[in-house]
Amino acid sequence: MIFVSLEFDLEVRARVYDMFSEEEIKEVDNKLIVEKEMPMENWFIEVLLGFGGTLKVIKPLNLRQKIIQQAQSILKQYDIR
C-alpha cells in the first residue's frame, strides 16, 4: 500500500465521489483532493489513466512517473512523440 495524493478537476466530481468516500475528498481552490492509502497495482494505475487530463498525481513521485510512462506509451502507439 502507498499513500497517494490526487488532484481532480471539478468536472469529474461524480466519478470521484463514486470511487472514494466523502471523508477522503476535500475541495480546495476549485479542485478535488483525495489523500488515502491505495495499492500500487496495475488496476489502480489503469483507473487513474481513465481520468485523462482531469487528474494530477501529487504524491508519490513513483506513481506520477508510472502515469507519465503510460501516457508516453499511448502517444507512441499513434506515432506522436
pLDDT in tens, 23-52: 999 999 999 999 999 998 999 999 999 999
Burial (Cβ within 10 Å: 0-12, 13-18, ≥19) of residue 4: buried
pLDDT band at 81 (very low <50, low <70, confident <90, very high): low
* Category of 73 on φ-ψ map: left (φ > 0), alpha (ψ -120 to 50) or beta: alpha
Around 37, how many Cα atoms within 13 Å sit in the side-chain half-sphere? 1
Sign of CA dihedral 60, 1, 5, 75: positive
The pTM of this model reads 0.91
Question: Domain boundaries in the chain?
Answer: 2-77
Decide yes or no: CATH 3.40.50 for domain 2-77: no
